[in-house]
């Protein structure tokens, strides 16, 4: 079990990632999520999954967490996205007035994909290691 102080820090990392991402999308999201841009969406998903895995692995190793605590840490980092972005999707035109309402579903799927990348990223081990 992750120590209480590190739990709070991991939640703060997750909140920071969520906040920076939300602000970034509010400012320039219309350039990233576009209606009918399936090719761009596939590229975005392809880049985001391993990137989130890498970011969360770096956070875990930077905090010197034992390997057996990484999955819990990834969950804590992803938690703000899992809690707040369903509301961002439900009230998409209000939260992201700069983006077309039709990309709300893509946004919601992308957020789940990023969380999955974080969880899978910390679950992968090198062959021969537990």
pLDDT in tens, 22-70: 999 999 999 999 999 999 999 999 999 999 999 999 999 999 999 999 9
Domain regions of the chain by residue span: 4-123
DSSP H helical segments within 29-69, as ranges? 38-62
pTM, full prediction: 0.92
The distance from CA 84 to its chain's CA centroid, rounded to whole angstroms, is 12
Residue 125: pLDDT band (50, 70, 90) is confident
Residue 116: phi and psi, rounded to 5, are -65, -40
Given a contact cutoff of 8 angstroms between Cβ atoms, the answer to whether 27 and 19 are in contact is no
């Amino acid at each position: 079990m992750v120590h209480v102080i590190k739990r709070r820090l991991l939640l703060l990392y997750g909140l920071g990632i969520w906040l920076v991402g939300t602000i970034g999308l509010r400012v320039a999201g219309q350039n990233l999520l576009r209606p009918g841009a399936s090719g761009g969406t596939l590229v975005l998903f392809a880049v985001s999954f391993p990137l989130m895995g890498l970011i969360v692995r770096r956070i875990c190793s930077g905090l010197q967490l034992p390997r057996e605590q990484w999955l819990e840490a990834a969950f804590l980092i992803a938690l703000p996205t899992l809690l707040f972005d369903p509301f961002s999707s439900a009230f998409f035109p209000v939260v992201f007035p700069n983006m077309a309402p039709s990309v709300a579903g893509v946004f919601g799927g992308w957020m789940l994909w990023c969380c999955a990348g974080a969880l899978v990223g910390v679950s992968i081990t090198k062959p021969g290691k537990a």
